[in-house]
């Protein structure tokens, strides 16, 4: 009997030693509102009409440029507000339309990436090219985000006039 009592006491003590306790701690989490956007790679592009080689032929419209990418990071406030990216130009060239098309997002991003609009003709008034951007990131650099296709078309041939490298600035803006 004495041995059994010591054994029971030993087992009781060992269970109490192995018993678990719990606790809690508060953790403060801060996530700022983030709105960042850039165009990659940096630098200008050139779109040049080509002179025809035969009289009676029209000047040749330049090949579209697909070297630029829109990258963005967006952390939004709660409540379902989304962001959009707009584009505009600083001047209209007589006889020429400058068009832009954003492709669907690709690359290493995640979250609620934006939805591209159909191809638009750029004007001095900002027009949406990507909408519905939520909490998201596209990845950085080329081959991440939305590939841009920038092209020229002739809208009124009679309004074309010779010019030497007229700089047109495309302004991109991310906004709520």
| Euclidean distance between CA atoms 45 and 71, whole angstroms | 18
> Residues 73-114: pLDDT tens digits?
999 988 778 999 999 999 999 999 999 999 999 999 999 999
Residue extents of the structural domains in the chain? 27-175
Work out whether the CA dihedral 156, 161, 162, 164 comes out positive or negative: negative
| Euclidean distance between CA atoms 116 and 130, whole angstroms | 4
- Residue 1, number of CB atoms within 10 A of its CB: 5
| Euclidean distance between CA atoms 124 and 95, whole angstroms | 15
> Residues 45-69: pLDDT tens digits?
999 999 999 999 999 999 999 999 9
> Residues 127-147: pLDDT tens digits?
999 999 999 999 999 999 999
Res 72: pLDDT: 98
Res 169: pLDDT: 97
């Amino acid at each position: 009997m004495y041995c059994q009592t010591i054994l029971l006491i030993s087992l009781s003590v060992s269970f109490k030693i192995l018993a678990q306790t719990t606790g809690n701690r508060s953790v403060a989490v801060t996530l700022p509102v983030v709105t960042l956007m850039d165009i990659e790679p940096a630098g200008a592009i050139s779109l040049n009409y080509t002179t025809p080689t035969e009289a009676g032929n029209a000047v040749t419209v330049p090949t579209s440029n697909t070297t630029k990418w829109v990258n963005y990071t967006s952390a939004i406030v709660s409540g379902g507000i989304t962001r959009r990216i707009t584009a505009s130009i600083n001047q209209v060239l007589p006889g020429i339309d400058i068009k832009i098309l954003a492709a669907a997002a690709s690359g290493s991003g995640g979250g609620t990436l934006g939805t591209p609009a159909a191809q638009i003709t750029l004007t001095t008034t900002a027009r949406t090219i990507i909408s519905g951007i939520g909490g998201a990131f596209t990845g950085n650099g080329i081959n991440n985000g939305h590939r841009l296709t920038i092209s020229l078309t002739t809208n009124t041939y009679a309004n074309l006039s010779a010019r030497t490298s007229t700089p047109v600035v495309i302004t991109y803006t991310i906004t709520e």
